[in-house]
Amino acid sequence: MENHLQPQPHLTDREFEILKLSAYGLVAKDTAFQLEIEQSTVETHIKNINKKFGCNKIPGSITRAFCSHILTIPEMVEMIQTFKKKQPPKQPNH
């Protein structure tokens, strides 16, 4: 019986952070704003993530990350709670 499991890719801390934010649904522009980095930097990280997972687009990489347990639901819940705390307060409408 053949082993079809591929080795898990090693992600840098920043790549992992961007992968989680992408899984949350943020696009590169919003991820860049959240992390206070350039959008082009986020896009480069996404290209590297996709290359490591053997995917052409980030949704495929996200799926593979969940299937290989690189991303887990508890990690996403924790990240979402942290992310919500970073949101600026809403300004009242006048």
pTM of the model: 0.80
What percentage of the chain reaches a pLDDT higher than 70?
A: 82
CB distance 51 to 9 below 8 Å = no
Domains detected in the chain: 13-85 (1.10.10.10)
For 26, list phi and psi in degrees, rounded to 5. Answer: -75, 140
Cα distance between residue 79 and residue 45, in whole Å: 19
35-73: pLDDT as tens digits: 999 999 999 999 999 999 999 999 999 999 999 999 999
| pLDDT given at position 41 | 98
Mean pLDDT of the chain: 86
pLDDT category of residue 90 using cuts at 50, 70 and 90: low
pLDDT at residue 8, rounded to an integer: 80
